[in-house]
Structure 1
């Protein structure tokens, strides 16, 4: 698995769960990571400025760079996968955007994953229109920090009625939104679970890809724990011209530090 051409970032929402969330930035640094990313760090849309600033301080203390951050996505442990398409929850997204921008100004993070959400049966068209407007507003909000909004497909059958399942679904939504600040998020696990030729998508969509996340499929464990060919995926990303960060965003099958042997010392560690 040849990812030594890339900086490899640690997703601290899935890695280093052996320790408290706020301690994971230091754990990542101790394991050799220079960059980190995170899902929404809080259970609520806006936890208050003090808690936002605490996260920023712990990142700074660890000496790592935050390079990716999710918007608030609702009750993720309870099965929600975003609120973007839900008109009745627009205020939650607005409040989370305020907190997100505060954290971004403090850390310099510029890439933000905004999950679409789960539309109701019979309301898909109206909720799609709302989602398109919400993505446009998010893009406008991050323009002040030269930010990019990432759009992610998720595994079919594991995420309720979430409607984006592959690169074509994501590309269609991005075209509809019409903002140059939107880009595809390439996630090997979700694409693999949906029967996509992951390496071929990497090759074809590299130019439209704003960020890459790696986990094996099935199982969502570390690369090498499932069936995906990560040597082919790495080669395809290089051939397609992707030069951004690659994130380790998997559920370790054992202690996190025992699952890092797929990385070479030069791969961002």
Structure 2
């Protein structure tokens, strides 16, 4: 079973305008409300691909209930910790001549509720996969990723980490199965600007030396690179298509990789290319990737 953890879920209020002017009344020509958060996005796309998962994390208030309702509509199983006060955050995504985001804070998470999540994670079994993705609310300890990985260490659980610089670097000692930095994040980890595939792979190898097993590097319109624990490397250009919505594309890549890995019995090549196709399918759509969209794109890059 695959489990995803989203520490700070959100309702994404997505609007489109011909142009956005600060300090003025702006009228939208398109709007949509989607339950989101990186782990939740992974679970939704896994479900679209026919792979079962369980979404974990924290929910609160009327927004939390809507996130749960939407997940149930997608057929995604969930086992959230429910908070008695506050509400799950609302993020506003403004898409006009430029993209602007306004992200909410999220509710307070007491220590007792954090421990409740830990107890849920204690139920994971050997060969399960745990996806840790996204930011940490200010009321959780900065080392929450490390605490979780230490707790499940040695139990044969594959862990996928999709997080920013410090969060990612601090967990490498626990040998995550897969990490997914983008090309800019990878350079930022080492204080350099990486311009070539050779430089990207060289620094991916440095992350492997620190403990990562497999490194998937997303490069937006330039495609992706993969460095496997067996030394294999793969590269793919981005499939052809029109960028519609970048929100969730990276999460979709993770979901696609896990789908390919599960369905192929552990073939990294298949997992990589399925990941690229799935990330692109979400980027080319108003919604998250569906199986037919992914299959069509996959044929163009394999």
Please indicate, yes or no, whether the TM-score normalized by the shorter chain is above 0.5: no
Q: For the pair shown, which has the larger CA radius of gyration, 1 or 2?
A: 2
The structure with the largest strand share of the pair is: 2
Greater RCO, CA 8 A, separation 6+: 1
Normalising by structure 2, we get a TM-score of 0.40
Normalising by structure 1, we get a TM-score of 0.43
